[in-house]
Structure 1
């Protein structure tokens, strides 16, 4: 078992555009003295210049998948030269309590280096193992799909 921590800090301030409500801007402090400026998404009166919780959730799923993919590829003797992803999360009515991120689509683009390059079936198998192993994916109810290229 491991414990993971963050610190959230918000102080009342007027909304920059709508004076009859409050600012949704706050900060998240992470390990290593990292500060992330966070707000609600723009659709919910948030600041477009800040990350929003939905972005952070889909980023966490994508990052976790990538880290497992890299580890599995390395264990199988493959060298990943680069890995990029543009994950998308869909905030939709979930038919139960209202709104939820119901679907997350990962679109990893991977290039390999070294002498040993996997074929498409092997890459798909690595994605499958990463998908099943990812702690964050296993913690959410959203459907996560992988559209690898």
Structure 2
């Protein structure tokens, strides 16, 4: 078993009227390796200026994590099959809409990877499709999309 940690930190600025719903949604996403990323709600959900369009919103992070995991598996499988990848670019798109239960959710994520190869051994179209299929089957994040989410509040006395 492996564990992964992310810390989300938000603090209200004293001049913001929290009770009137006039507060910044900007926060920090802190990762165990030391990376700190600016986070915010999406301007699609919470209007500017309470959202920060330059920060990463949870929906974007979700789409990016699926794309990144797929890419990492694709690269590993391609290397094992002796296909030399020079470049991998994926413009992934997530769609948020009401799901079958009437809840707003990211109902679909479409990956559109464009991969450039070099070397003597070049994959066929069928090879590339198989690499992507295998990467999708192995992707931890894609396999986790229906994972259980628990909330265990911490109380400080």
Same fold judged by TM-score > 0.5?
A: yes
Deviations 1:5-55, CA, capped at 9 Å, x for gaps: 01110001338xxx7522111001113311100000002222111110000
Question: Hey, what's the Cα distance between the residues in 2 that align with 1:113 and 1:64?
Answer: 23
How high is the TM-score relative to the length of structure 1?
Answer: 0.88
Runs of 4 or more off by more than 4 Å in structure 1?
A: none
Aligned to 2:43: 42
Number of residue pairs matched by the alignment: 138
Aligned to 1:4: 4
Instruction: Mark the runs of 5 or more structure 2 residues left unpaired by the alignment.
Output: 147-157
Instruction: Tell which has more relative contact order, 1 or 2 (C-alpha 8 A, sep 6+).
Output: 1
Distance 1:20 1:138, change over 3 A: closer
Q: Root-mean-square deviation (CA), in Å?
A: 1.4
Matches within 5 A, 1:1-149: 1-13=1-13, 14=16, 20-45=21-46, 46-96=51-101, 98-141=103-146
Instruction: Mark the runs of 5 or more structure 1 residues left unpaired by the alignment.
Output: 142-149
Question: Hey, what's the Cα distance between the residues in 1 that align with 2:28 and 2:95?
Answer: 24
